[in-house]
Amino acid sequence: MPELPEVETIKRTLSPLICGRVIKELEIRLAKILRPGPEVFQKSLPGQKIKALSRRGKILIIHLTQNVLLFHFRMTGNLVCLSPQDSEPRYTHLLFYLDQDLRLAYTDLRQFGWIELIKEDLSHHRILSKLGPEPFELSKKEFFSLLRARDRGLKAFLLDQEMIAGLGNIYTDEALFRAGLHPKRKTSSLSFEEAARLLSVIKEVLEEAIRERGSSVRNYVDGRGQRGNFQRQHLVYRKKGEPCPRCGEKIVYQKIAGRGTYFCPNCQK
DNA sequence: GACAACCTGACC
DNA sequence: GGTCAGGTTGTC
């Protein structure tokens, strides 16, 4: 489900609701999503205060008094804060009971996501430390050299979290369209100017998506349970057969790098 | 690189 | 019935 803009929106909407709250109790209904396992969660979490929220790539980070929780939502995971009158969402697998009568529900229809409890330092975490740079912190020169590290298709490169963190299927397709680049174009064939343009539209599309509070294509809602609006601005994603907004040719759908990919064969070379 | 695997549901 | 889904990982 969520890519960088959605996780960022969850972070921003959840922060004011749960920072400063204390975890009173924990209800675990699906143990397999918890790392290292349910016993550690049950033993460690009650009594801890939520200090701050942050994000790295598509991972949401909750900083507690003693520990840190990492959430990876994969395709359909989500985290919502419930008021006393709110009914519990479907597919709730973990429920935090907080003070002030609040509940924090982790839901995940497809059960691909995971939550990890960490004791030690974040900086040498096996997953976090392997993530590529945040798009907003990436310079043209760094991006250009990442592109040349290994020659492969642009779509596969942009989806690779170890190259650049946070892009998924939607924003990859939208950025490649804005840049006028074909998803199968080889990374090392880009000129410096093309690379600079690609990086600039990546930042642009992510910023716009965050401003619109993410894309709600199907299930996604933010930390308050509200849908995002950026799906209305999508130019190619899920637009198979529709006219290209730039040239009018039909948008094509093709499986590329293992993912359903939408692009304009006329505008993207 | 392609493909299956992990799951449940929506849509044709 | 088959195909597809805001993701990642392990296997040829």
Q: 3-state SS of A183-239?
A: CCCEHHHCCHHHHHHHHHHHHHHHHHHHHCCCCCCCCCCCCCCCCCCHHHHCCCCCC
pLDDT of residue A124: 86
On whether the CB atoms of residues A4 and A57 are closer than 8 A, the answer is: yes
CA A234 to C1' C4, in angstroms, rounded, equals: 19
The answer to whether some atom of strand C lies closer than 7 Å to the beta carbon of A220 is: yes
* Confidence band, pLDDT 50/70/90 cuts, at residue A123: confident
Q: Please indicate, yes or no, whether residues A28 and A108 belong to a single structural domain of this protein.
A: yes
pLDDT of residue A258: 96
* Confidence band, pLDDT 50/70/90 cuts, at residue A56: very high
Mean pLDDT of chain A: 97
Q: What is the mean predicted confidence (pLDDT) over A5-12?
A: 98
Q: Please indicate, yes or no, whether residues A140 and A122 belong to a single structural domain of this protein.
A: no
Q: Please indicate, yes or no, whether residues A52 and A76 belong to a single structural domain of this protein.
A: yes
Range of A240's domain?
135-263
Task: Read off the CATH number of the domain in which A214 is found.
Answer: 1.10.8.50
Active site (annotated) includes residue A3: yes
pLDDT in tens, A133-158: 999 999 999 999 999 999 999 999 99
Catalytically annotated residue among A21, A203, A250, A259? A259
Question: Smallest Cα–Cα separation from A103: which of A125, A122, A80?
Answer: A80
User: Read out DSSP for A50-85?
Assistant: EEEEEEETTEEEEEESS-EEEEE-TTTEEEEEE-TT
Q: Please indicate, yes or no, whether residues A75 and A176 belong to a single structural domain of this protein.
A: no
pLDDT of residue A255: 96
* Confidence band, pLDDT 50/70/90 cuts, at residue A121: confident
Q: Is the pTM of this model over 0.85?
A: yes
Q: Please indicate, yes or no, whether residues A143 and A258 belong to a single structural domain of this protein.
A: yes
The domain total for chain A is 2
Whether A268 is covered by a domain: the verdict is: no
Q: Please indicate, yes or no, whether residues A108 and A144 belong to a single structural domain of this protein.
A: no
* β-bridge mates for residue A96, sequence order: A26, A104
Domain end call among A130, A152, A184? A130
Q: Please indicate, yes or no, whether residues A259 and A139 belong to a single structural domain of this protein.
A: yes
Q: Please indicate, yes or no, whether residues A98 and A154 belong to a single structural domain of this protein.
A: no
Residues 78-137 of chain A within 7 A of strand C, judged by CB, are 110, 112, 127
Whether A195 is covered by a domain: the verdict is: yes
* Confidence band, pLDDT 50/70/90 cuts, at residue A1: confident
Nucleotides of B under 7 A from a protein CB: 1-4, 6-9
Q: Please indicate, yes or no, whether residues A251 and A143 belong to a single structural domain of this protein.
A: yes
Whether A13 is covered by a domain: the verdict is: yes
Whether A251 is covered by a domain: the verdict is: yes
Supply A68's token pair: 């840190």
Active site (annotated) includes residue A110: no
pLDDT in tens, A79-102: 999 999 999 999 999 999 999 999
Whether A269 is covered by a domain: the verdict is: no
Whether A185 is covered by a domain: the verdict is: yes
